[in-house]
Amino acid sequence: MKNKVSLRLKLVIYLAVTITVTGVLTVLLAAILFELGVDYTLFHSSYVFFIVMLAVSFAIAVVASSIVTHNVLAPLKQMIRAMNQIKEGDFTARVTPEPKGKGELGQLVRNFNDMTKELQGNEMLRSDFINNFSHEFKTPIVSIRGFARQLQNQGLTEEQRQEYASIIAEEADRLANMSSNILLLTQVENQHISKTKTTFSLDEQLRKSILLYEKQWTDKDLDLDVDIDEIQYTGQESLLTHVWNNLISNAVKFSPKGGKLIISSRIDGNFVVISVEDEGPGMDEITVSKIYDKFYQGDSSHSKEGNGLGLPLVKRIVELCGGYVDVDTALNEGTKFDVFLPVTDIVV
């Protein structure tokens, strides 16, 4: 393993090189003057000649030192300016261009730029979450407040009380689910640096997601066609769980009673392909163009069962993992989502 040269040692080396080069240039200059036949008496004395040579050497040293240390001092000055910007709340500050190489200075600048990106993402996360929270949470909160006040009415029947209490519970669940999805979506939207990856069983993860919705697909008497290859995949396990949960829950939700649900995984070239297909109502072109918009719900009949955040979350997580999502659908012909994840360290 090669030892890294410290910044202090580099500066010492630069200074030594500068002094050496300056001395050599001074000697060369004196030799050239001598070859040209310059009479030292023009300088009135050897001391004057020495002073002139010293001045020339000093000028050369200053120029050489400025050139040599520029690559070290310039990024540091930029970093100081960027820190002042961050102190004032401007998280867009960057040190550009980043120094090349793997030395300490280059690593310092790259880490600083990565830090400012994360700070900027956290600030956007905070503001976006507050904006989305205040806008989308208003309706269910108003609903809860209204039915809670209705429960204070002494003239209600027991059946009405149970109905209103059930609505309040449903709206509370909706709020809890929405807050979790908004927070997660905002996090991944503003995440630029890939988090730590782990190697896990992708097929087992898919099976757990399928079993999670067993009651729903059992109640609908769905015919499940599961063809999942055994794959050990290296990626962001916790985030990918949200992808499968959203796609499978949507497929179950939109499937007709007694319909067929197809879930498969395979390796195709440089990608792992996970497919979720249902026999639901499908989507028209306008709906397809908007399914990744936050809070958009193409089918209003299922609006109480979702919040329009699932597919935007799926898309962003898959992109963060280096993949993409493809949808194949048409009205009355069902919907098929294909998730393409880049092949990493895979053992089939």
Domain boundaries, the chain: 7-118, 137-189, 198-342
Q: What percent of the chain has pLDDT over 90?
A: 19
pLDDT of the residue at 108? 79
pLDDT of the residue at 301? 45
Instruction: Give all strands (DSSP E) within the chain, no chain letters.
Output: 198-201, 223-228, 232-235, 260-268, 271-278, 324-329, 335-342
pLDDT of the residue at 115? 80
Q: When comparing pLDDT for 147 and 184, which is higher?
A: 147
Round the average pLDDT of the chain to a whole number and report it.
Answer: 77
Query: Up-side HSE of residue 155: CA atoms within 13 Å toward CB?
Result: 0
- Rounded mean pLDDT, 247-258: 91
Fold of 137-189: Helix Hairpins (1.10.287)
pLDDT of the residue at 202? 93
Class (C level, CATH) for 198-342: alpha beta
Per-residue pLDDT of 280-312, as tens digits, reads 999 888 888 888 876 655 554 444 454 567 788
Per-residue pLDDT of 331-343, as tens digits, reads 888 999 999 999 8
pLDDT of the residue at 203? 92
- Rounded mean pLDDT, 139-153: 85
Same fold, 137-189 and 198-342: no
Site of tokens 């120029």: 63
CB atoms within 10 A of CB 196: 6
Weakest mean pLDDT among 52-61, 237-246, 274-283, 320-329? 52-61
Per-residue pLDDT of 16-66, as tens digits, reads 666 666 666 666 766 676 666 655 555 545 556 566 666 766 676 667 666
Q: Does the pLDDT at position 92 exceed 60?
A: yes
pLDDT of the residue at 303? 44
Strand partners, 328: 336
pLDDT of the residue at 3? 43
Write down the pTM of the prediction.
0.53
pLDDT of the residue at 299? 53
For residue 195, CA distances in Å to 91, 110, 118, 237 come to: 21, 17, 12, 10
Weakest mean pLDDT among 47-51, 101-105, 230-234? 47-51
Q: Return the sign of the alpha-carbon dihedral for residues 304, 296, 278, 301.
A: positive
- Rounded mean pLDDT, 93-119: 75
